[in-house]
Amino acid sequence: MQRAIFTEEQQVFRDMVRDFFTREIAPQQSAWEHAGAPPADFFKRVAELGIMGIQIPEVYGGAGESTYKFNAIVTEEAVRAGLQIGSLRTHLDMALSYLLAYADAEQKQRWLPRFVAGDLIAAIAMTEPGTGSDLAGVRTTGTRADGGYVINGSKTFITGAVNATHILTVVRTSPLEADGDRRSGLSLIAVETDRPGYSRGRLLEKIGMKAQDTSEIFFDDVWVPEENLLGEEGRAFAYLSHNLAQERLSIAVNAQAAARFALDTTLAYVRGRTVFGQPLAALQNTKFELADCATDVEAGQAFVDRALDDHDAGVLDPADAAKLKLFCTQMQGRVVDRCLQLHGGYGYMLEYPIARLYTDARVTRIYGGSSEVLKSVISKSLLRAAEAGEQ
Ligand SMILES: Cc1cc2nc3c(=O)[nH]c(=O)nc-3n(C[C@H](O)[C@H](O)[C@H](O)COP(=O)(O)OP(=O)(O)OC[C@H]3O[C@@H](n4cnc5c(N)ncnc54)[C@H](O)[C@@H]3O)c2cc1C
């Protein structure tokens, strides 16, 4: 089915990004995998192409676009080129939305021109060794001192910490009251990674996404000025909940693009492989498997495109974003698994793109809200709507 959601300008942008990724970045992927992270100059090149500033207001040097579709194009083209650019997606799709929504005028002046230039790279640190899905359980503390906060604690699974200059860190700025609201008392503070007491631990070894870095980070009496607090003290839970819709949309766009790529690469494979004297593509089972996968991919695309339009219009609500991520990531898992099966033993070999798609796919049902957490968000909204309907 034709996609009708992109403008001509966005199509031109897609061609530019496709050329950049396939000609310049794809040849570097094995070096990135070896290093476990992209090099710092990748972010500078992305900035030179104007990609960092697309959503940043012109007054700070950006292009002032409000649509999210350029970001979606970057993700889709990265997947198509076989790249893992999770740290760029965290920076552009997630961190930037916090800066745009909650930074005050002075902070925007301080941070956004550097963001546009690729000199400020941001990561987001919510998860801790003791708490992931249950964000209210954050134990890293920010204690007021000397006109700022002293931060102590540790975070884990942090994407992009290798190149980050700023970590948007969720800290507890007032103690957890035994009978109080567990969601209150959390704040979002930007921590520069060159501050004394900040350190990055080892690169965590993952089963997939090997070209993007995932690290532990530590805060040992790290002092930051109060000018680094984003928004109001104690309001981080609300800010994080608000931004989850875009985070989930971003993961869904990536999952959808990966499912499509899996189907495309499998179509090429089954046409070239001969079994029992005939092309693998000629077997009825192959045709049925491909038909099921193609149907799944089209359904996912329609859902993603509708969500992209809704998000631009400001009407993608958290429960719909949860449904979208749940469907697209489960569909990605189904399609990639079936496509790998059609490759036989070659599907298990990393030289075939389907093998990487398989190991990369598993995490999308875990991060950014696990499937179980999403189901609970969706069911709560169903019950709320049913109760409201009865009143
Ligand atoms: C590759 C990778 C990159 C990541 N990048 C980042 C990052 O940049 N920044 C960051 O802050 N975090 C990051 N994360 C962390 C990620 O968001 C968490 O792993 C995720 O939120 C799940 O938390 P957890 O791992 O602690 O699992 P847990 O919360 O311990 O969950 C364990 C199991 O319990 C289930 N469960 C939990 N709560 C419920 C419930 N209420 N009902 C039913 N089942 C439930 C879960 O679904 C899961 O199956 C990353 C993780 C990975 C693997």
- How far out from the chain centre does Cα 18 lie? 19
Among protein residues, the one whose CA lies closest to atom 39 of ligand 1: 373
Cβ pair 173, 186 in contact under 8 A: yes
pLDDT digits (tens, 9 = 90+) for 55-82: 999 999 999 999 999 999 999 999 999 9
Question: Residue 179 has what pLDDT?
Answer: 66
Q: How many CA atoms lie within 13 A of 249 on its CB side?
A: 30
The reported pLDDT for the residue numbered 272 is 96
Catalytic-residue membership of 226: no
Average pLDDT, the chain: 96
Residue of 366, 374, 378 to test ligand 1 pocket, by largest number of atoms within 8 Å of CB: 366
Whether the Cβ atoms of residue 28 and residue 37 lie closer than 8 Å to each other: no
Q: If you average pLDDT over residues 162-188, what whole number do you get?
A: 90
CA of 125 to the centre of ligand 1 (A): 13
Output the CA 159–ligand 1 centroid distance in Å.
13
Task: Find the radius of gyration of the CA atoms of the chain.
Answer: 22
CA of 128 to the centre of ligand 1 (A): 10
The domain limits of the chain are 8-120, 123-233, 238-390
Given this structure, which CATH class describes domain 123-233? mainly beta
Query: String of b and e for 288-322 (b: at least 16 CB within 10 Å)?
Result: ebbeebeebbeebbebbbebbbbbeeeebebbbbb
Ligand 1: list residues with CB < 6 Å: 90, 123-127, 132-133, 157-159, 206, 209, 214, 363, 366-367, 370, 372-373, 376
Over residues 348-361, mean pLDDT: 97
pLDDT in tens, 146-157: 999 999 999 999
Which member of 77, 128, 216, 247 is catalytic?
247
Ligand 1 center–CA 38 separation, angstroms: 24
Residue range 189-207: average pLDDT? 97
Distance CA 151, CA 218 (A): 10
How much is the pLDDT for 242?
Answer: 85
For residue 181, pLDDT over 90 is answered with no
Average pLDDT over residues 353-380: 97
Mean pLDDT of 368-387: 95
Residues of the chain with pLDDT > 90, as a percent, come to: 93
**pLDDT of res. 178:** 67
**From the CB of residue 384, how many other CB atoms can be counted at a distance below 10 Å?**
11
Q: Which of 89, 133, 241, 374 to mutate to test the pocket of ligand 1 (most atoms within 8 A of CB)?
A: 133
Residue 346 has pLDDT above 70, yes or no: yes
Please identify which residue in the block is written with the tokens 């019950």.
383
Q: Homologous superfamily of 8-120 in CATH?
A: Acyl-CoA dehydrogenase/oxidase, N-terminal domain (1.10.540.10)
Q: What length is written for the chain?
A: 391
- pLDDT tens for residues 282-303? 999 999 999 999 999 999 999 9
pLDDT tens figures, 25-56: 999 999 999 999 999 999 999 999 999 999 99
Q: What whole-number distance in Å separates Cα of residue 152 and Cα of residue 222?
A: 7
Q: Residue 372: pLDDT band by 50, 70, 90 thresholds?
A: very high
The residue whose CA has the least distance to atom 48 of ligand 1 is 370
Contact, 195 vs 222, CB < 8 A?
A: yes
- For residue 52, what are the contacts with CB-CB under 8 A and spacing of at least 6? 43, 46, 62, 92, 115, 116, 117, 118
CATH class of the domain comprising 238-390: mainly alpha
